[in-house]
Copies of this chain bind each other. A is one copy, B any other.
Amino acid sequence: MSDTQVGDSLLFLTDEQLRQGIEAVFFAYQGFTAAPDLVLEGTQYGRAHHRALHFIARAEGMKVTRLLTILGVTKQSLNRVLRTLIEDGLVESRVGRADKRERHLFLTPEGAALESRLSGAQRKRMRAAYRQAGPEAVAGFRQVLEALMDPEQHRTYMSLREGKS
């Protein structure tokens, strides 16, 4: 297709525009993780622990398998993280009532406290960016992010929002 056919409306799909978008994601992601990373420095934990805490807080009672698919890591990798969180009393693992093979994960008060500090730092950052960009930009932001996800990741993303505004 020629330039005259596509017109100006598709100029946002040029290689240069896409390259700028890619770099924007890269730099923004650095800013995105900076705030919780600062909180983590004062603890013995890393990003992997943060992610686990976030999603357990998001859906209390979550099974280990669910967490595995969400995080997209291997069982061994998650298990090391989970073990330390359980040993340190931040997460509680309860045997399933219906199916005793399953373990359901909950935050202890200590775990909830740390998760709250991490989440608060990240939300603060996010809120500042949202406020600066405005509601319409945020709507577009969300649209592109959703389009960027794998279909499977998108399904997981949507499923976490059930019953929430």
Enumerate chain A interface residues (CB-CB to B < 8 A): 9, 12-32, 34, 51, 54, 58, 72, 119, 122-123, 125-150, 153-154, 156-157, 160-161, 164-165
Residue of B at shortest CB range from A26? Answer: B51
CA gap between A15 and B123 in the complex, in Å: 7
Residues from chain B with a CB closer than 8 A to the CB of A130 are 12-13, 17-18, 21, 144, 147
User: Within the complex, what minimum Cβ distance (angstroms) separates A165 from chain B?
Assistant: 5
Residue of B at shortest CB range from A25? Answer: B32
User: Within the complex, what minimum Cβ distance (angstroms) separates A141 from chain B?
Assistant: 4
Judging by beta carbons under 8 Å apart, are A28 and B132 in contact? no
User: Within the complex, what minimum Cβ distance (angstroms) separates A22 from chain B?
Assistant: 6
CA gap between A60 and B54 in the complex, in Å: 41
Could you list 11 examples of A-B contacts with CB < 8 Å?
A12-B135, A12-B138, A16-B165, A21-B141, A25-B32, A27-B153, A27-B156, A28-B149, A32-B148, A129-B148, A136-B140
